[in-house]
Structure 1
Amino acid sequence: MNSRAPLNIFYEEPEADRWAPLDRYPRRLVRWLLRGPKQPGGTMRVCLNLCAGLDRLNVPYRVNDYRHIRKHPHELACLIGQPHILPKFALETPMLFGTSIYNHPIDDPDLLRRRNICRVLVPSPWVERMFSSVWPGNVSLWPCGIDTDRWSPSKRANRDVDVLIYDKIFRHRDRYTRSIVDPLLAELRRRRLTVEVLRYGSYREKTLYDLSKRARAMVYLSHHETQGFAAQQMLSSNVPLFAWDREGLWTDRKYVPHLVRFGPVSSVPYWDERCGTKFTGSGDLLPAFDKFWFGVEAELFAPREMIVEKFTLEGQARAYLALVDKYGPH
């Protein structure tokens, strides 16, 4: 029996009315009827995976028990959800805040002066550097764990998809289609490889899971990632990545270039040579893919090893508890 007091975990995502007061509720019902249960996004996945890790460690917790925290305002509140839930807590309530918070702390640079926030958690080293520029000395690194049991290597004798292309290109799409996507597709056709394409935002997690059992390799096209769940889930499945990693400036249009200029960022912030091969753009695309595909065919990559070493549910739950013990009230 674990002797720890239950953690107070809070997770919510904002949902605004669109056309009329309170219309978010019938819209939620209609979405459920048409699309089924809500697809886990990044914030929900952080909460689900943290709770799963705590379950494996037999550590008790409460989720969204606002009644309890109102009665016990001096207990630590672990806020996974976004900043809109801050007003639900008393000013004196100590908080562990993150990792799904502001896109950039410039949204609320005085937050730590107004609220009893013990520590801000962020998911990767480049985000830690960016947030520390506004909140120096108050930011800690904590990436979420991956369900390595679920996302495990396929037992299929033959994988029938040579290359899965994961397309998360938003900005300057026409330019990058011409300079990266089209030349890459031409090279895959030249090599007579079978290809599937997933466009970010248009698939359910089960689709990626099914493809993790069928694909020999994945091309990962993203401007930057704070952690990169899809990439890490495929790596956990022992699918090596050919990753576009520009290592340039942060490109969020809400902030850039008028408010923030920050770099370098990364599309694969957790990486080593076991994971696959990276390229920076059109200049090194084809030579890097030639090196990558040689490694795929020669079975030189072992991406699952990196994930199991660093990102199990249990391991990252222990890391979270260490932050609770270090920065929470005593």
Structure 2
Amino acid sequence: MQERLLLYFKKPKLTDRWIYGDRYLRRFIKFLSGKKKIGSLERVFLNLCKGLELLGIPYHKNLPFSQIRSNDRIIALGMGPQVLAGYNQPNKIIAGIGLMTHPSNWPTLFKDYPIATYLQHSEWSAAIYNRWYGPNSSKIWPVGIDTAYWQPQNTAAQKTILVYVKFLWDRELNEENLLKPILKFLTQNKIDHRLITYGNYILEEYKEQLTNSKAMIFLCEHESQGLAYQEAMAMDVPIFAWNQGLWLDKNLPAWGETEPVAASAVPYFDETCGDTFKNIEEFERKFPAFYTNVEAHAFQPRKYILDHLTLEKSTARMLEIIKEVYQ
């Protein structure tokens, strides 16, 4: 019997938010807007599909659990626990990325289902799951970047600095203590810049902004992977990233995290991609040298993506994981 690769990805059901039935109105308004926003977890799934197709590897999506054969290989990617609801087969499962926010949300995952490994995108996030579920329970699998879509564009436009804002917590405080001083610094130094905020754009708009950007200032507390800054790098846009070094989620005490947890805003990054800063003082001290290197075309961020994070390389890593799990 031929082995098959079965992929599972299911979104949570849309529920009412304010009044009974408003989920239908929200869906209709979204349809009328013509702007389809794809969340990061869904993009992880779609990019895996693209990578498999590029390598000519057949797969099935969301096949009913009752049709699973004994030698099928199973990959179940998040969003939420409903992805596995009703699974009653003995086949081992490669699971992740977003079945839960923290392993304490589902401490019995490996007992409830035949989970072989729980995927995480980078070392710092995998370390958390290994600490909760046991050594080597989590494997690192970075999703690939579509470098055919995200590639440099020839343009005669005057390029500017793009400031990308994705504050996850303490937004007002971070805007006051970090964003405003950065914008003031750029203005005072007569550096043309534009602002873009996570969640307020579609991919086509973001790509257009990157086409007209010579560099990007990336403001986010931490990322398990960070698709947005890597898409910018794929378009050969150098990154100057706020990388304060700790996991700052407000739910840490509720999850039982009593000690500081190391984290990164740019988990895939080196000196060829740009530079980082920890606070506004370090921003003001390091930005001039970064900007000089940008103007001199000293960085090669696209090369980093081509060397490490293409769809093909990501898929090859997934095939390694499948081989490790099932053989």
Class of the TM-score when normalised by the shorter of the 2 chains:
over 0.9
CA separation of 1:102 and 1:300: change in aligned 2, threshold 3 A: same
Contact 2:7–2:76 at 8 Å: present in 1 too? yes
Q: What does the per-residue CA deviation read over 1:62-115, in whole Å, with 9 as the maximum and x for residues that have no partner?
A: 11112xx31225323210123222113115232110122221101111211221
Q: What does the per-residue CA deviation read over 1:4-31, in whole Å, with 9 as the maximum and x for residues that have no partner?
A: 8431001112134216999487346414
Q: 1:77 & 1:38 partners in 2: Cα distance? A: 28
Partner of residue 13, structure 1: 11
CA separation of 1:323 and 1:23: change in aligned 2, threshold 3 A: farther
Task: Give me the TM-score of the superposition, normalised by structure 1.
Answer: 0.91
Partner of residue 100, structure 1: 98
Q: Secondary structure at the match of 1:26?
A: helix
C-alpha deviation, 1:284, in angstroms? 0.8
Contact 1:99–1:142 at 8 Å: present in 2 too? no
Partner of residue 139, structure 2: 140
Q: Secondary structure at the match of 1:87?
A: coil
Q: 1:174 & 1:20 partners in 2: Cα distance? A: 25
For 1:172-211, what aligned pairs fall within 5 Å after superposition? 172-211=170-209
Q: State whether structure 2 residue 67 is matched by structure 1 residue 71.
A: yes
Contact 1:4–1:59 at 8 Å: present in 2 too? no
For 1:27-46, what aligned pairs fall within 5 Å after superposition? 27=25, 29-36=27-34, 38-46=36-44
Contact 2:36–2:202 at 8 Å: present in 1 too? no
Q: Secondary structure at the match of 1:251?
A: coil
Between the aligned residues of both structures, percent identity stands at: 27
Q: Secondary structure at the match of 1:167?
A: strand
Most deviating of 149-158 and 311-320: 149-158
Q: 1:32 & 1:88 partners in 2: Cα distance? A: 31
Q: What does the per-residue CA deviation read over 1:210-252, in whole Å, with 9 as the maximum and x for residues that have no partner?
A: 111110011100011110000000000000011000002x222
Give ranges in structure 2 of 5+ residues lacking alignment: none
Q: 1:154 & 1:130 partners in 2: Cα distance? A: 39
Q: 1:35 & 1:256 partners in 2: Cα distance? A: 40
Partner of residue 57, structure 1: 55
Partner of residue 267, structure 1: 265
Q: What does the per-residue CA deviation read over 1:175-222, in whole Å, with 9 as the maximum and x for residues that have no partner?
A: 222322122111211221221111111111111111111100111000
Contact 1:236–1:303 at 8 Å: present in 2 too? yes
Q: 1:202 & 1:37 partners in 2: Cα distance? A: 11
Partner of residue 305, structure 1: 303
Letter matched to residue 78 of structure 1: I
Q: Secondary structure at the match of 2:10?
A: coil
Contact 2:169–2:249 at 8 Å: present in 1 too? no
Letter matched to residue 150 of structure 2: W
Q: 1:19 & 1:267 partners in 2: Cα distance? A: 31
Letter matched to residue 138 of structure 1: S
Letter matched to residue 85 of structure 2: P
For 1:213-292, what aligned pairs fall within 5 Å after superposition? 213-248=211-246, 250-256=247-253, 259-261=256-258, 262-292=260-290
Q: 1:20 & 1:92 partners in 2: Cα distance? A: 41
Letter matched to residue 76 of structure 2: L
Letter matched to residue 153 of structure 1: P
For 1:116-135, what aligned pairs fall within 5 Å after superposition? 116-135=114-133
Q: Secondary structure at the match of 1:156?
A: coil
Most deviating of 88-97 and 203-212: 88-97
Partner of residue 170, structure 1: 168
Q: 2:285 & 2:19 partners in 1: Cα distance? A: 56
How many residues matched? 323
Q: 1:202 & 1:79 partners in 2: Cα distance? A: 28
Partner of residue 149, structure 1: 148
Letter matched to residue 148 of structure 2: D
Contact 1:165–1:196 at 8 Å: present in 2 too? yes
Q: 2:201 & 2:159 partners in 1: Cα distance? A: 17
Q: Secondary structure at the match of 2:110?
A: helix
Q: Secondary structure at the match of 1:134?
A: helix
CA separation of 1:258 and 1:229: change in aligned 2, threshold 3 A: closer
Q: What does the per-residue CA deviation read over 1:34-85, in whole Å, with 9 as the maximum and x for residues that have no partner?
A: 333631111110111111011110000111112xx31225323210123222
Contact 2:3–2:73 at 8 Å: present in 1 too? no
